[in-house]
Structure 1
Amino acid sequence: MSNSGISVFTGLRHIFRQVWRHRMVSLLFVLGLGLSLVVASCSPATVAGDSAAPPSAPAESRVVRIGHQKFDPFTLVKARGGLEKRLQELNASVEWTEFQAGPPMLEALNVGSIDVARTGDAPPVFAQAADAPLVYVGGSTPKDRSSALLVPADSPVQSVEDLRGKRIAYTRGSSANYLLAVILEENGLPWSDVEAINLAPADARAAFEQKSIDGWVIWDPFYAAAQEQVDARVIRDSEGLAANRDFYLATNSFAAENADVIEAITAETQSVAEWAEANPDEVVGILSPILGIEAPILDVVNARRNYSFEPINDDMVAEQQKIADTFFELGLIPKQVKVQDVIWQKPPA
């Protein structure tokens, strides 16, 4: 073969090799693409006849922020620990915040710092009059011997009529606010006949001991402690004047979105209440170190109260409406309110 023939053959062989190499690369690409499609078609999310979407992320855990006072049903619920277990089943947890009285607690509810609160009867009325976004979600049975108007044992004051011109401590917006109003009304005294001094319970206790005030309207356990520790004398207690119920409240938005959580709180609180009714000595044993209150004082308190959580009923609404009307007539709230407007309605199942 001539040199020219060899050159032509070599060139053709080179061309064939390039074509073959290109075809092999193309073939491998096609085979790879086909394998990818086969694998994808066999994946669980896209198997023929299976339209299930990829599994979604688990629901975000809810934190339920509950406000309570130094001594109320939630104090015992917190100590018992059962609510945490119930909420775990709902993918929720609880965060507790303690308040000295109802008014600051409902202010926290108003600004969204807590979701659920337990107060006495008067704070919700003041909050509703201030257009706070709250609803009643439950109440307790009456405990109408659990607050009173006290004077020092050696005070010359012997009756409510003797209080004219005297300095009487109470906590504005609390159940003591209403009790003072109805005690005066019962005895024909206008609110202006006394010098009503707004003090938190701890400050009122100090003023009472120093005798810089003449009287003090207060609730348990401060009431029982004053009777035992500072020799206070009762001028008039709340029996027959105020039911002194506990009320449970929530923000509108929380109640609308978390009916299951409210039901869990209700169930656990009622369960604890039934246990407490049957085991008063154990209740005292749990609460005495938590509250720093001697057992004999707590025995008195327990005999005058309950820890229940019940659905709102007509009697509760009527009592709250009377409180609202009284406060409006005294000029203590800026407008009339209709309590029925802020009663939570459990959504249908």
Structure 2
Amino acid sequence: MRKQYKKPLFTTVIVLAALVGFLVYQTRGNTDITDEGKKPIIIAYQTGVDPSKVAQAEGLYEKNSNQPIEWKKFDTGPDVVNALASGDVSIGNIGSSPFAAATSRGVPIEAFLITAKLGSSEALVVNQKSGIKQPSDLIGKTIAVPFVSTTHYSLLSALKHWNIPENKVKIINLRPPEIVAAWNRGDIDAAYVWEPALSKVKATGNVLIDSHQVGEWGAPTYDLWVVRKDFAEKNPEFLKSFVSTALTQLEKYNQNPEAFSHDEKNVNEISTLTGSSPADIALLLSGNTYLSRKQQIETLSNEFSKNILDTAQFLKGQGKVDQVKADYHDNVSTAFLQ
């Protein structure tokens, strides 16, 4: 009789062992999922060209923080702001103009790192067939720009400098991919945009002005990393690691711009991540100013908040925001740069 039950008993033991193993595996898996430290941090990025893109391409943010990250690409700053406002992302890469608009309407975010002070990497390009040779030729023409972006702010600032009323030109709201499509169809005469759309319209266009010159006229713009305040309070060490990782690449570039921008690996990684042509990377990198840790602290502690206030007041005057805060110091932090 024992022989009749020997095999079923053995099989039962195996099944029970497998079941226990499965349950243990499931328990461990669930622990990983619910463990806050193991959840991927969701970060929004855009396609602007800067040295810190190398760190993103090589996974250095994850490696240095020992924290998984889920990167999500967005076409415009306002899109990133919406994701931050909803809590879909915790950290985002946006320009100073959408940052001013977002904080003016109470989105709970703060700027903690300046990726770049923008220059020739953003520009107003006019179609060679448009007949536009000088600023006054813009009157009556159609200009595309992503609304409430740094390029939108720069465009409006340039028109003001040239004494061209906004209602004398037709400004339409298009995202960068839409700008390229409209340009190719011949629907627009000019566009103020960034990479990779910038290079695509420059192929058959001429630069009328760039953000370096507009900044010299008193309307500088910045590319920023911003974070939800609730996330910043709970994750200071991650943000310190994030800042250090980004600054390492910015400092490498500043130490030897030519070597950095002609390093084939750097060029290919930035090109792949942003969609810009490898041939354009060196020029695009040279088009911005990258601040050191000390310069970051000085800028964020002093003139940056005033610049955001000026930007918000300008946007309100243009009817792009409904209200302006008394000041923006509570939306700026140097805590993770210390």
Flag whether TM exceeds 0.5 (same fold): yes
> Could you tell me whether the CA contact under 8 Å between 2:196 and 2:275 is conserved in 1?
no
**Aligned-partner residue type, residue 316 of structure 1:** F
Identify the residue that residue 139 of structure 1 maps to in structure 2: 114
Alignment partner for residue 58 of structure 2, among 58, 80, 99?
A: 80
> Could you tell me whether the CA contact under 8 Å between 2:183 and 2:201 is conserved in 1?
no
3-state SS in 2 of match to 1:154: coil
Alignment partner for residue 328 of structure 1, among 316, 320, 324?
A: 316
Matched, 1:220 2:195: yes
When the two chains are superposed, the root-mean-square deviation of aligned CA atoms in Å is: 2.4
Question: 1:333/1:233 Cα in 2 relative to 1: closer, same or farther (>3 Å)?
Answer: same
Question: 1:220/1:244 Cα in 2 relative to 1: closer, same or farther (>3 Å)?
Answer: farther
Identify the residue that residue 258 of structure 1 maps to in structure 2: 235
Identify the residue that residue 150 of structure 1 maps to in structure 2: 125
Question: 1:141/1:75 Cα in 2 relative to 1: closer, same or farther (>3 Å)?
Answer: closer
Identify the residue that residue 302 of structure 2 maps to in structure 1: 314
Identify the residue that residue 226 of structure 2 maps to in structure 1: 249
Residues 185-210 of structure 1 deviation map (CA, whole Å, 9 limit, x = unaligned): 00112222211100001111111122
Residues 194-240 of structure 1 deviation map (CA, whole Å, 9 limit, x = unaligned): 1110000111111112221111111234223322x3x2111222223
Matched, 1:175 2:156: no
3-state SS in 2 of match to 1:103: helix
Matched, 1:270 2:253: no
> Could you tell me whether the CA contact under 8 Å between 1:68 and 1:98 is conserved in 2?
yes
Q: Which has the higher contact order (CA 8 A, sep 6+)?
A: 2
Matched, 1:233 2:206: yes
Identify the residue that residue 110 of structure 1 maps to in structure 2: 85
Matched, 1:211 2:186: yes
Alignment partner for residue 344 of structure 1, among 306, 315, 333?
A: 333
3-state SS in 2 of match to 1:158: coil
> Could you tell me whether the CA contact under 8 Å between 1:149 and 1:234 is conserved in 2?
yes
Matched, 1:287 2:270: yes
Question: 1:148/1:292 Cα in 2 relative to 1: closer, same or farther (>3 Å)?
Answer: closer
Structure 1 residue 294 displacement after superposition:
2.6
> Could you tell me whether the CA contact under 8 Å between 1:201 and 1:218 is conserved in 2?
yes
Structure 1 residue 156 displacement after superposition:
1.3
Identify the residue that residue 288 of structure 2 maps to in structure 1: 305
3-state SS in 2 of match to 1:155: coil
Q: Give the length in aligned residue pairs.
A: 288
> Could you tell me whether the CA contact under 8 Å between 1:145 and 1:237 is conserved in 2?
yes
> Could you tell me whether the CA contact under 8 Å between 1:224 and 1:301 is conserved in 2?
no
Matched, 1:69 2:57: no
> Could you tell me whether the CA contact under 8 Å between 1:255 and 1:344 is conserved in 2?
no
3-state SS in 2 of match to 1:241: helix
TM-score (norm 1): 0.76
Structure 1 residue 304 displacement after superposition:
1.0
Identify the residue that residue 68 of structure 2 maps to in structure 1: 93
TM-score (norm 2): 0.78
Question: 1:60/1:202 Cα in 2 relative to 1: closer, same or farther (>3 Å)?
Answer: closer
Q: Which has the higher helix share?
A: 2
Unaligned runs of 5+ in 2: 1-30
Q: Percent identity?
A: 21
C-alpha distance in structure 1 between counterparts of 2:249 and 2:281, whole Å: 17
Identify the residue that residue 124 of structure 1 maps to in structure 2: 99
> Could you tell me whether the CA contact under 8 Å between 2:151 and 2:192 is conserved in 1?
yes
> Could you tell me whether the CA contact under 8 Å between 2:109 and 2:228 is conserved in 1?
yes
> Could you tell me whether the CA contact under 8 Å between 2:47 and 2:275 is conserved in 1?
no
> Could you tell me whether the CA contact under 8 Å between 1:272 and 1:307 is conserved in 2?
no
C-alpha distance in structure 1 between counterparts of 2:82 and 2:251, whole Å: 31
Question: 1:144/1:319 Cα in 2 relative to 1: closer, same or farther (>3 Å)?
Answer: farther
Aligned ranges for residues 25-44 of structure 1 at < 5 Å? none
C-alpha distance in structure 1 between counterparts of 2:230 and 2:93, whole Å: 17
